[in-house]
Structure 1
Amino acid sequence: MAPCEQQFDTPKQLDAALAIAVAARLAAAIESRGEAWLVVSGGRTPLGFFAQLAAQPLRWEKVIVTLADERWVDNHHLDSNEKLVREQLLCGPAAAAQFLPLADLSTDIDSAVSELDYRLMRAPRFAALVLGMGDDGHTASLFPGATALQQGLDINSGRSCIIVEPLTAPHLRVSLTLPRLLDSDEIFIHIVGANKQQVLERARASGEVSELPIRAVLRQHAAPVTIYWSGQ
């Protein structure tokens, strides 16, 4: 199934529509499964979306939030995605949601990721996954050229998360793998700006997945994908 695309004149319009769509997926999962797992991404792009989603009238105590990827930094660090989510999404009504962090600096990264992998392998299907995309075509922390990229993209790896050391971005990372990301009721790709649209068009063309890892999400048939895009 080809990805659907929703285009908006402004990021504000996009944020409002995306929040409603994600909230609907969460509500449906709560109704059918008794809980809903939401996976989000960090960065500046989702800030407006987080504010809109946090205000949605959901049974937030039934929602478990986690991240598609995280930098291996303390959760007070300015580059921490956990810090961003706690401050921008888990507030107001959404403060009742549970949160599963990806970085635990109280132990070494290998032990922490092993424990996280065990927990994520036993987690149910995600109700909604919201992914961003970098100018280099990476998504989550599945970066072009990273030594762990092939393992992260391997649909038969048996792994839910891996350690990634990007070549062109700071910090060691923890990233969910492609098979764990695809185990979702719906995947939302959230992009803003003309540059990102150009990257997306390149990703839709023929070429190696390793060149633009977002292609792995666009080309799969395990979960429906909807692209939310604003050119501003």
Structure 2
Amino acid sequence: MMYEFISYPDREAMMLDLADRIAGELSETLLHEDRATLSVPGGTTPGPVFDVLSELALDWSRISVVLNDERWVAEDSPRSNTALLKKRLLTSKASEATLIPLYAPAECPEDALDGLAEGLKPHLPISVLLLGMGTDMHTASLFPGADNLAAALDDRAPPLMAMRAEGAGEPRITLTAPVLKGAMRTHILITGPEKREVLENAAHLPVREAPIRAVLGRAVVHWAD
């Protein structure tokens, strides 16, 4: 499985270059489309990319932002990816962007899934997709061994699915493989020697064991130690 791999001298250089690439690709999309959609991961690793992007003079009023996945927790929870996104990306110049929610007040993801999916559909396909990867080879909330993994990897999967997995903590809601594979441009951000080795191993494993494989063949991988 071939993918483009870019190694950087340090993490700061990687974050700056990646933010610049994403901004350029969003601007290029807006040259021939009315709107662009950016999908990003939660967690702290992409935070420096968000910090740079939020200060760039893009036409943010024409850009929609959606998380790759979200934990089923309220926004006031320290585990909320949405809260982190608002703090790190949807601020300064990027405050004009439109956030597409992946959480709604409901007891479980299934109760809100249809409404959230309807809100997402007008913003597909994703123009620029930024993904992370866990050491278990999951991406978004496509975890090995998750309850709905096989259905979420299927080409006929709906755009959003609920997901529960042993390593996931809370129930999750995630973009499914068809949405991720349908992105116009895909970037994967990883750091450290362990994740580089994990990624190299993932290329030779079945997709159910290494869900990152679903998008690897069309991705640019950005790595720094």
Please classify the TM superposition score into its range, dividing by the shorter chain length: over 0.9
For residue 95 of structure 2, what is the amino acid of its counterpart? A
Contact 1:72/1:105 (8 A) holds in 2: no
Secondary structure of the 1:55 match is: coil
Residue 117 of structure 1: aligned partner: 117
Other-structure match for 2:211: 213
Any stretches of 5+ residues in structure 1 without a counterpart?
Answer: none
1:226 corresponding residue in structure 2? 220
Inter-partner Cα distance in structure 2 for 1:106 and 1:23: 34
Q: Name the amino acid aligned to 1:32.
A: H
Q: Which residue of 1 aligns with 2:75?
A: 75
Structure-2 change in CA distance of 1:141 and 1:108 (3 Å): closer
SS in 2 for 1:37: strand
Q: Counterpart in 1 of 2:178?
A: 179
Q: Report the TM-score when normalising by structure 2.
A: 0.96
Ranges in structure 2 where 5+ consecutive residues have no aligned partner? none
User: What is the CA deviation profile of residues 53-102 of structure 1, one whole-angstrom value per residue up to 9, with x for unaligned ones?
Assistant: 11222011111101000000001110100001000001111111110110
> Are the equivalent residues in 2 in contact too, given 1:140–1:175 (CA < 8 A)?
yes
| Superposed counterparts of 1:1-232, under 5 Å | 2-106=2-106, 108-157=108-157, 159-204=158-203, 206-219=204-217, 224-231=218-225
CA distance in 1, matches of 2:40, 2:16: 16
Contact 2:103 2:116 (C-alpha < 8 Å) held by counterparts: no
| Residue pair 1:19, 1:56 contacting (<8 A) in 2 also | no
Spell out, residue by residue over 1:176-199, the C-alpha distance to the aligned partner (whole angstroms, 9 max, x if none). Answer: 000011121101000011111111
Q: Tell me by how many angstroms 1:107 deviates.
A: 6.6
Distance 2:22 2:182 in 1: 16
Query: Does the CA-based 8 Å contact 2:100-2:119 persist in structure 1?
Result: no
Tell me the CA shift for residue 108 of structure 1. Answer: 5.0
Is the partner of 2:170 in helix, strand or coil? Answer: coil
1:52 Cα shift?
1.1
Deviation at 1:203, TM superposition (A): 0.8
Amino acid at match of 1:215: R
Q: Deviation per CA, 1:92-133: give whole Å up to 9, x if none.
A: 111111101101015753231111223333433211000000
CA separation in 2, counterparts of 1:53 and 1:112?
A: 30
The question of whether the paired residues in 1 share the 8 Å contact of 2:64 and 2:123 is answered with no
**Secondary structure at 1:5 match in 2:** strand
TM-superposed CA distance for 1:43, in Å, is 0.9
- Secondary structure at the aligned position of 2:129 is classed as strand
RMSD (CA atoms): 1.4
Q: Determine if contact 1:164/1:175 at 8 Å carries over to the other structure.
A: yes
- Cα deviation for residue 169 of structure 1 reads 2.3
Matched letter for residue 218 of structure 1: L
Q: Separation in 1 of the partners of 2:101 and 2:62? A: 17
CA deviation string 1:138-193 (max 9, x = no partner): 00000000110001110122x00100011122100000000011121101000011
